[in-house]
Structure 1
């Protein structure tokens, strides 16, 4: 059972999303909140697998909440779910460590699939948002020497993270222990100056990773 927390200041939207998610036998909504402070408290109390966060809240932003959640509960997977198609917000969400950024025009079945994917360890961004983030990163990182600093194994790890694989799945693919994969991933993130796998996935897509094994 995948547990989910919803933080959105519009009750009708929140209830609609909750009803949609709970139509799946695999998902249970364990917490709801309408503000950043309330959301942080309820997420801390329930420790859900996934937190769906509205971008704009009465006392802050979903991105601020995402950053705070991950600093205290790094095991929680955060997804920004918003009506606002904003380049700067997408980049900020990635930097904050969000596992996804979805627009509220996403179809119901696709939202359920997204929650399941994120809960399994995959990183997910709206396709249009991914393109714009990649274009922005590309314009800022032409001939980035950081990528050249990665050894072959670290590039393999980056490639598979970009595909959305977890450490365990990467280990199975490459014949490595999960702890070894984690060490390679940590070194790769350090060399790239990144903090989270979501950032690495966006960086990897920009450098043509994720399409080969």
Structure 2
């Protein structure tokens, strides 16, 4: 009796967006060497990226920020609005991370530096494709400093909220603790160790937090935590 052929694993479809052709070529060479990743197309500006994304429906978009015409932040917002299931990773240089806040609000699921190692790039794509979020550590540090410019000077919630932003009142005390740890960049394993919980319990808490607050992923949770004053940069 013949054995049926194995069904090949589904490959993650990618769209590369950068106005520098050499950079796109370099990313393509790295990504096409991976059996589970497939480059569906390329775009050199934000407007083309939106059109390509709608036509090709990639799983993940690697998005530059500064491009002629429509920039990467606007393109990210339009792609996420049109394709909620699509994930966007912003590719940035250390000098461009002042755009982090706007891109996160636009719906980006992560940030990577353009000089990241190939393994970091492919690992981030796989993580984001499964619903996780990724932010390069160096970008995280600068990003948290940047958040202070978007918060009240004291870092406190707005007056009249009873000391807690109204958006967070749906969370239980334990969920608030986990939410704060999550916003500080701790992994599930680190949160579990800190609160002496199992990783499975932490994962459940994180899922409930995202659901209650209608957040796409951990990156949006970080944005809300700093917006609400639950976590203050530098403290």
Task: Give TM class, smaller chain.
Answer: 0.7 to 0.9
Aligned with 1:200 (options 221, 227, 235): 221
Q: Does 1:173 align with 2:200?
A: yes
Match of 1:188 in 2: 213
Q: Give the alignment's Cα RMSD to 1 decimal.
A: 3.2
* Counterpart position of 1:127: 137
TM-score (norm 1): 0.76
Counterpart in the other structure of 1:99:
109
Distance 1:27 1:41, change over 3 A: same
Structure whose CA Rg is larger: 2
The C-alpha deviation readout for 1:50-83, integer Å capped at 9, x for no partner, is 0001111211211110000011101100011133
Distance 2:187 2:53 in 1: 25
Q: TM-score, normalised by structure 2?
A: 0.70
User: By how many angstroms is 1:207 displaced?
Assistant: 3.6
What residue number does 2:89 align with? 79
Task: Describe the shift of the 1:152–1:17 C-alpha distance in structure 2 as closer, same or farther (beyond 3 A).
Answer: same
SS at structure 1 position matched to 2:85:
coil
Q: Give structure 1 stretches of 5+ with no counterpart.
A: 166-171, 190-194, 209-213
Rounded to whole Å, the distance in 2 between the matches of 1:40 and 1:148 is 33
Matches of 1:73 and 1:27, distance apart in 2 = 19
In structure 2, the partner of 1:211 is none
Q: How far apart are the structure 1 equivalents of 2:99 and 2:92? A: 10
Instruction: State the SS of the aligned residue for 1:32.
Output: strand
**What does residue 152 of structure 1 align with?**
173
Residue correspondences, number: 195
- In structure 1, distance between residues paired with 2:126 and 2:222: 18
The answer for the alignment partner of 2:32 in structure 1 is 22
